[in-house]
Structure 1
């Protein structure tokens, strides 16, 4: 059994799912973190005042359900910064770079990037910002790939995004995060609300899938 975790690094609800994912990983469950590119390309948009207000309201709900912090630095330096985009392309590139040779490094890289954004209020939209976060997370090799991607890595990155998007569509997922149990190559979608309830309930849903 493998758990496929479909995510976008700029998705607040994905950040809120971190405690449950940590507990699943600690229990020995194999988690394959797959980016969907939900907020990149055609999904990117300006981070204007209206969207910032909507996001902050949603973030407070996520905080209540998950216990994950959303700091004043995030509000001041990310949501209230003007002239920037809600665009996850570079953050996703960084996560894929971290997992280029070892897929199990994708989740730690995602966590580092999420913490940089939602707690430290750092830039994770530009290549320089993402590379600095990866360097601080002792992933200097990934930082170098972000700054100067090789052709081999770009092909792998494209293929990984395609895999995540294809599974997202196959499951008819409505958004991120999305969690699927894969047994014998057949994926079954788990209600994402289980990521914000009790751990025992989540495990029961996984076992029943």
Structure 2
């Protein structure tokens, strides 16, 4: 029997490596018909230029994420982080693109996934609107409709709402998750389920059983 009383709140940033690692877990939730998945994007990076030490810190973290989750950080991404003259991370424009995809009747989660893959596997600059327009085309959004949606998407208000919700839920950092059921709110330790799809599926089955 479908349980419509379970709502999952997922707090993420499109350029958070640990959120990339959580991708398989989130995709599992999106495929279930017994929960409502609510996505809450944050703005972790605002045109932040990374020095060499910061890039190495991220690469070291990526190795831990890969070991736990199995997600692949591509050669193009790693080469860019090691050798590019400049690397700038900007979450704000990708969040705008995720919201715009939803406004166009497409899956915000699918746009998030494509942005993550473009960044973490292909080494693309995912705050470049040309890159985002290409990703939008891949999911069937015509360019003229896409550009209008980008203009009207209000990422600042959504990011602020995410920050407020995280304070209310007493959450710190990305990725974070809470589940609402029968008026109760519970934190979900996402990283504890990295690389454990069977345990993850069993947990959610137990909630809806």
TM-score range normalised by the length of the shorter chain: 0.7 to 0.9
Tell me, what secondary structure is at the counterpart of 2:187?
A: strand
Task: Compute the displacement of 1:13 (Å).
Answer: 0.6
What residue number does 2:181 align with?
A: 183
What residue number does 2:8 align with?
A: 3
The CA distance in 1 between the partners of 2:82 and 2:41, in whole Å, is 22
Task: Compute the displacement of 1:140 (Å).
Answer: 3.4
- Is 1:60 the equivalent of 2:63? yes
Query: Unaligned 5+ residue runs, structure 1?
Result: none
Task: Compute the displacement of 1:106 (Å).
Answer: 1.2
- Is 1:20 the equivalent of 2:25? yes
User: TM-score, normalising length from structure 1?
Assistant: 0.83
Q: Per the alignment, do residues 78 and 53 of structure 1 end up closer, same or farther by CA in structure 2, a change over 3 Å counting?
A: closer
The CA distance in 1 between the partners of 2:185 and 2:104, in whole Å, is 25
Residues 71-96 of structure 1: CA deviation (Å, up to 9, x unaligned): 11111235532334222111111111
Say what the alpha-carbon RMSD is for the aligned residues: 2.5
Contact 2:20 2:71 (8 Å CA) reproduced: yes
Task: Compute the displacement of 1:27 (Å).
Answer: 2.8
The CA distance in 2 between the partners of 1:31 and 1:77, in whole Å, is 33
Residues 97-121 of structure 1: CA deviation (Å, up to 9, x unaligned): 111254x711111001001111122
Task: Compute the displacement of 1:132 (Å).
Answer: 2.3
> Equivalent residues in 2 for 1:136-151 (5 A)?
136-140=138-142, 143-145=146-148, 149-150=151-152
User: TM-score, normalising length from structure 2?
Assistant: 0.83
Query: Unaligned 5+ residue runs, structure 2?
Result: 1-5
* Aligned match for 2:39, one of 12, 28, 33: 33
